[in-house]
Structure 1
Amino acid sequence: MSLSSDNSAPHHLHSILARVRESSSVNYASGWAQALDAEWGSLEFAKRHSEVVNLLLDTVVQLNALPERARERSLRYVPSWWIAVVQPQANWTDNGRDSSSIITPDMLDHLEAAADIIAGSLVGSTAAPRSTDLQGISDQCQEWIDLLQSMDDVEISGSVRDELLSQIEHLIWLIDNVHIFGAARVSTEASRVIGSLAQASATMGNSNPDTASRWGKAWIAFIAVCVAFNVGAPIVQESIQSGTAVVKEIASVVDDVRGAE
């Protein structure tokens, strides 16, 4: 099993910025549009560029998890990476600013070096998942969509249901665009969805027994498949169905919260 991972957020941030720089475009806007495969000024472009900002934010969070020397050495370059992503003082459509000037080669090298440190230090976590097989997470997303759409406002608040559906659909979108944003963004967003589902569990109303049972099994399966994805380990159907001791403990806490209301 590999001791590192190139699935990290800074690896994909590096890849995107390198594509912008190497696009030979006459301005930043064209370079970004080519790198993100989206029309400049479109909703899809705005959504994709926002995910690039998320990659930078994830990078900063992950750098803060490193040992002090590696952390301090890498954090000093964050402002330069932020300027490259946002270019707050530049006109993106100015043809006098070709895409090659968006970031210097040495700043790209520092970003890649930080990515390698994160990959080596945090491998097997959401920051640097080992696996690249997203089919299990995708299947679980579809199961959750089917389950949530089958629940009425008595079982779960309509606003909570709609927010969950939106988060899960965004997770599916990230899976569809994993070639751009990488597996770490999928893993991080999946963890966010798990947290939202846990909160929703504590607010559920009078669910029928079948729905409640299906909810519990689906939640355990989602956690199990995400853990398996992060550590790169195969997982058998029995373990998805029964869950680990840790997952059972989490489910017990949620039950206690619901019972206290």
Structure 2
Amino acid sequence: MSFSNENTAAHNLHTLIARVRSSAEGTIARSWSAVLGAEWGTIDFIRRHTEVVSLLQLTIQQLNALPERQRLRCERHVGAWWAAVIQPTVNWTDETRPAHSIIDDDKLDHLESTADLISGNLVGSSAAPRSTDLDQMHNTCNEWIDLLTSMGEGEISGPLRDQLISQLRHIIWLVENSELFGGARIADEASTVIGVLAQASASVVNMREESASRWKKAFITLVTACIVFNQASPILQQSITAGEQIVKEITSAVDRGR
């Protein structure tokens, strides 16, 4: 298990922009296409570039967790990072606009410095996970999908079930593309799913005893996977205990819904 601190959204954003900027491709479009591994204009390309935008959004959001002087210093460069990702006034297929023009060295260096500040201040949280071992997360999401797929309309509403399955599949996709988008995006999406599952626990009705038991166990497992991934904790029992405590708070709601 890796204990690298360089796993923030800002670090991965910096890496992607730097790769595009140094690409030998002739246009911005082809450069992004090469870096993201998807053909320009396709749904796959749009999906992947949208994740780059999500990395930028997370970076901006996490600036608010920095001490004020650091935050203000970093925020001065947000516009340049946004322009590098979006290029709103430039034709991406223009042969006279090479990719190295999307951002200058100084602004790119400031992004990496910001990433280091976020890592130093927030390491061990979902903003700066300490681990790169994603096997448990991947397996847990698949287990959840199996559980939700097995539940009928009488136990959980179809739209809620489909929403959860979609979110879990997105986490799996992020895990499979972690070399591009990094751990912080995965941790952020997993935290969102945990929140939705906690709310769903209070709204499910007529849940069978077997399903309720699997639900509680799967919830603990997902919380454990998130804590271990964020903190690179070598002691699983602490994470399991934390998950169990959360489950205790929603158990009565689940039991009422059975």
SS at match of 1:207: coil
- The number of aligned residues is 257
Structure 1 residue aligned with 2:41: 41
Q: Residues 129-163 of structure 1, C-alpha deviation per residue, up to 9 Å, x if partnerless?
A: 11110001011011101100100001000000000
The one-letter code sitting in structure 1 at the alignment partner of 2:147 is: L
Tell me the C-alpha RMSD between the 2 structures: 1.9
| Residues 10/89 of structure 1: CA separation in 2 closer, same or farther (3 Å cut) | same
- Name structure 1 gaps, 5 residues minimum: none
The one-letter code sitting in structure 2 at the alignment partner of 1:250 is: I
1:1-261 matched pairs, under 5 angstroms: 5-236=5-236, 243-244=240-241, 246-257=242-253
The one-letter code sitting in structure 2 at the alignment partner of 1:254 is: I
Retained in 1: the 8 A contact 2:10–2:115?
Answer: yes
| Residues 260/149 of structure 1: CA separation in 2 closer, same or farther (3 Å cut) | closer
Aligned counterparts of 1:36 and 1:179: Cα–Cα separation in 2: 10
Shift, 1:38, TM fit: 0.6
Retained in 1: the 8 A contact 2:6–2:119?
Answer: yes
| Residues 239/207 of structure 1: CA separation in 2 closer, same or farther (3 Å cut) | farther
Shift, 1:254, TM fit: 2.1
Retained in 2: the 8 A contact 1:124–1:231?
Answer: yes
Aligned counterparts of 1:180 and 1:73: Cα–Cα separation in 2: 27
| Residues 76/224 of structure 1: CA separation in 2 closer, same or farther (3 Å cut) | same
Aligned counterparts of 2:124 and 2:62: Cα–Cα separation in 1: 13
Retained in 2: the 8 A contact 1:4–1:120?
Answer: no
The one-letter code sitting in structure 2 at the alignment partner of 1:121 is: N
Aligned identity (percent) is 51
Q: Normalising by structure 2, what TM-score?
A: 0.94
SS at match of 1:108: helix
Shift, 1:249, TM fit: 3.7
* Deviation >4 Å, runs of 4+: 1-4, 256-261
Shift, 1:248, TM fit: 3.6
Shift, 1:234, TM fit: 2.4
Aligned counterparts of 1:239 and 1:109: Cα–Cα separation in 2: 38
Shift, 1:44, TM fit: 0.4
Aligned counterparts of 1:58 and 1:67: Cα–Cα separation in 2: 17
